[in-house]
Amino acid sequence: MPDLYSLANALDYIEAHLKDPIQVADMAQAADYSLYHFCRMFSAYVHHSPYDYLMRRRTSEAVQQLIQSRKRIIDIALDYQFNSPEVFNRAVQRCFGVKPSSIRRARCTNLTSFLPPIGLEKIIHVTQVMDSLACEVQTLTAQKLSGLMNSGGYVEKLRETISAMTDSPVLIDPYQIVLHFDDCGYKPQWCYTGWQSGSVIWNNPFLPVDWERPSGRYACFLHREGLENFTLTLEWIFTTWLPQSGEKLAWQGVILQKSCEDYFHVWVPIR
């Protein structure tokens, strides 16, 4: 395995120079690698080419400025090294599917396309679990669930509440966690934990909320760690796999299917 700390140095260099006219050769120098070996290593472990990563990071930060500031669109574009409105328009539309002016008017956009900084922690996480993050696309039928829901996506709080209310050992019974995101990102707007029809606690009077999983196409990933590191997996799916796959979300959310121990299947609805 190459020196990931050298790669992290290059990523830190990119982050510090998003507003500067840097080249891929400058990134390679920061990593102390030849240009050829740097590009191979970067693509293998970051899963973006160095140039694509730089452009997506610039575009993502520029879009944040569109939402949060009142600076002119052209000034934001120039700040992030887009030398004309046309170039900036193309970059934003490629990453977010809408024009910069539309984002400015709405003061919001779907930030599942936002690429946050990738650092050493994320590289190590994806490297360790990459073999389990292979995607399999399946068609699922609708499924009725019964469970509990809360706002804010507090998964652990739901699990504790359900464990306290039921006599059944909840964590050995198959269950699904549904995370529904708001229109501006992949931070959960609400969280739902449900059990399928026929399970031990189906129709328990303390589980008042019914929900039906929509039928359709789903991309399935296997997350081989606990919920503690799930955010890193979720970021990789949305910011790397989804834009590179060419698929689109069918609805704003994901479903986690408890498998065994700390294994979860992650179902991403696509169309």
Q: What is the pLDDT of residues 202-219, one digit of tens each?
A: 445 555 677 888 999 999
Domain identity same for 90 and 169: no
Mean pLDDT is lowest, of 63-67, 117-121, 190-194, for 190-194
Domain identity same for 78 and 180: no
Domain identity same for 91 and 197: no
Decide which of 32 and 223 is more confident. Answer: 32
What pLDDT, on a 0 to 100 scale, did the predictor assign at position 200?
Answer: 46
Structural domain containing residue 169: 131-270
Cα 269 to Cα 37: distance, rounded to the nearest angstrom: 37
Residue 68 lies in a domain: yes
User: Judging by beta carbons within 10 Å of its beta carbon (0-12, 13-18, 19+), is residue 136 exposed, middle or buried?
Assistant: exposed
Q: What value does the mean pLDDT take over residues 192-205?
A: 57
Q: Look up the CATH number of the domain holding residue 83.
A: 1.10.10.60
Q: What value does the mean pLDDT take over residues 48-65?
A: 96
Residue 74 lies in a domain: yes
% residues pLDDT > 70 (the chain): 75
List Cα–Cα distances, 262 to 179, 186, 233, in angstroms.
18, 22, 14
Domain identity same for 101 and 187: no
Domain identity same for 154 and 220: yes
Decide which of 70 and 235 is more confident. Answer: 70
What value does the mean pLDDT of the chain take?
A: 82
Asked if 264 and 258 touch (Cβ cutoff 8 Å), the reply is yes
| Two structure tokens written together for 41 | 């290593």
Decide which of 40 and 232 is more confident. Answer: 40
What pLDDT, on a 0 to 100 scale, did the predictor assign at position 70?
Answer: 92
Planar angle of CA 258, 259, 263, nearest 5 degrees: 90
With a cut of 80, say whether residue 86 has pLDDT above it. Answer: yes
DSSP, collapsed to helix, strand or coil, labels residue 258 as strand
Q: What value does the mean pLDDT take over residues 215-239?
A: 84
Confidence grade of residue 146 (pLDDT, cut at 50, 70, 90): confident
What pLDDT, on a 0 to 100 scale, did the predictor assign at position 117?
Answer: 93
Domain identity same for 205 and 156: yes
Cα 268 to Cα 133: distance, rounded to the nearest angstrom: 12
With a cut of 70, say whether residue 162 has pLDDT above it. Answer: no
Residue 206 lies in a domain: yes
Confidence grade of residue 171 (pLDDT, cut at 50, 70, 90): very low
Domain identity same for 137 and 265: yes
Residue 96 lies in a domain: yes
Q: Look up the CATH number of the domain holding residue 201.
A: 3.20.80.10
Residue 114 lies in a domain: no
Confidence grade of residue 172 (pLDDT, cut at 50, 70, 90): very low
Residue 84 lies in a domain: yes
Task: Please write the tens of the pLDDT for every residue from 95-143.
Answer: 888 899 999 988 776 666 789 999 998 888 888 776 667 789 999 999 8
Query: Domain count of the chain?
Result: 2
